[in-house]
Structure 1
Amino acid sequence: MSPADLQQPVLLSLLGGGFAAAFLHAALPTHWLPFVLVGRAQGWRTSRTLGTVVLAGLAHIGSTAVIGSLIVAAGLALDQWVEGLLPHLSAVLLFLFGAFYLSRAMLKRTATASGPALDAPEPRVADRTALLGLIALMALSPGEVLLPIYLSSATEGLGVLAALTAVFALGTVLGMVVFTALAGAGASILRLERWARYEGAVLGLALIGLGLLVALHQH
């Protein structure tokens, strides 16, 4: 069945609900906080951070669409496998990012305490590594809240599923961009630069905390 075969109110309701669900699920901290924290740590401009958000959001919906299609084809057994594997990989990525930035903060503090003569250049993740890591983080954590909508529309045909995917992508990317921009603006308004000496430690602990929340959410 194609979108044209559905009654227009039913189709609009389905797509509207899909957009709302996608936008609201983008409000989860894992969808914007890592970008704000890593972008600040890397010294990225807002445009670069938001560009990374767009790429990661598309990867997120791409993996959601693939998993959703496989669930529709193979049934709920695959859904249990996905919930048990991929989210844990995203948690591992969060832990690794957090551990790096926390160790960086500790090394910087040690070098400062040792005096100017021993002051060393601050270690930093390569921009390409940070970019790919953030994209992988989102790609490995498909939008579980969106999967039931795929299942509920499984009998409506490929056209409806494709329209849903487009709406999910629009809602998710828009939501991630909005919440990331708001969080970044809030950081500037609150003049968080005064806390720069603690930023590395806060960044590392925040990412590790997010990873812990993602891991605990699976149990």
Structure 2
Amino acid sequence: MNALISGSLTLSLLHALIPSHWLPFVTIGKTEQWSVRQTLMVTALAGLAHTLSTTLLGVLVSLAGWQLAESYHELSERAIPLLLLALGLWYLMQHLRHHHVHDHIDAGTIRKNRSFSALLLSLIVAMFLSPCLEIEAYFLSAGAKGWFAVLVVAAIYNVITLSGMLIMVMLGRKGLQHIDAHWFEHRENLITGLTLVGLAILNFFIEF
């Protein structure tokens, strides 16, 4: 259970800190001259849509884990680490191909809609349709351990991701956007891939 919690925390924090989850809200808010309160409200609603779709997908994945509960030992020793490793290698390949697959928001496209309600709806839809796949490995493992474990993973993911996004947007409004966040954006797949590979290697030796 400790590995399940620590892994969920790591991935949730990683996603909250990576620029694609907060920088678009800072840049759009600045362009549209939103107040801090408006920017945070939009971030919270769009972020909630993102975590909700990820959690709904996670519940479906948990059902598969529940079906495999009898073979949980083999699942935790082989299947979950291999899934994390496969995802990690896929992200590393995307980085090498210079293809940004995890950009949840195309800020330039969304800014074409000038009204506040249109922008808000566009951001919510974009985030809802872009669930994070990396955390699903932990939902699979949690499903095999029981619904309490699923609830723990869901709570960690939602709280950490939403809190992290709001904190980063607040920092961005105060000038963090002047730091070269694009360096992280261009290496987002590399960072995600290395994290997943590291978690896979760790979980080969530590059972979930």
TM-score by length of 1: 0.58
Does the alignment pair 1:184 with 2:184? no
Instruction: Give the conservation status (yes or no) of the 8 Å contact 1:26–1:176.
Output: yes
Matches within 5 A, 1:165-180: 165-180=154-169
Match in the other structure for 1:55: 45
Instruction: Give the conservation status (yes or no) of the 8 Å contact 2:20–2:105.
Output: no
Instruction: Give the conservation status (yes or no) of the 8 Å contact 2:8–2:156.
Output: yes
- Structure 1: gaps spanning 5 or more residues: 1-9, 105-123, 191-205
Matches within 5 A, 1:1-40: 10=1, 14-40=4-30
Q: Which has the larger radius of gyration?
A: 1
Match in the other structure for 2:108: 98
* Secondary structure, counterpart of 1:144 in structure 2: coil
- Pairing partner for 1:71 from 39, 61, 85: 61
Distance, in Å, in 1 between the alignment partners of 2:173 and 2:104 is 25
Higher helix fraction: Structure 1 or Structure 2?
1
Kindly provide the CA deviation profile for residues 159-197 of structure 1, in whole angstroms up to 9, marking residues without a partner as x: 221221111111001110111111121168x6xxxxxxx
* Secondary structure, counterpart of 2:10 in structure 1: helix
Distance, in Å, in 2 between the alignment partners of 1:157 and 1:100 is 40
Match in the other structure for 1:162: 151
Instruction: Give the conservation status (yes or no) of the 8 Å contact 1:90–1:140.
Output: no
- Distance apart, 1:45 and its partner CA: 0.4
One-letter amino acid matched to 1:156: K
- Pairing partner for 2:35 from 27, 35, 45: 45
- Distance apart, 1:52 and its partner CA: 1.3
Distance, in Å, in 2 between the alignment partners of 1:55 and 1:92 is 14
Instruction: Give the conservation status (yes or no) of the 8 Å contact 1:72–1:150.
Output: yes
Against the structure 1 CA distance between its residues 136 and 177, is the aligned structure 2 distance closer, same or farther, given a 3 Å change threshold?
A: same
Does the alignment pair 1:150 with 2:160? no
Instruction: Give the conservation status (yes or no) of the 8 Å contact 2:8–2:135.
Output: yes
Q: Identity of aligned pairs, percent?
A: 31
Instruction: Give the conservation status (yes or no) of the 8 Å contact 2:8–2:157.
Output: yes
Alpha-carbon RMSD: 3.6
Instruction: Give the conservation status (yes or no) of the 8 Å contact 1:90–1:137.
Output: no
* Secondary structure, counterpart of 1:26 in structure 2: helix
* Secondary structure, counterpart of 2:175 in structure 1: helix
Against the structure 1 CA distance between its residues 90 and 25, is the aligned structure 2 distance closer, same or farther, given a 3 Å change threshold?
A: closer
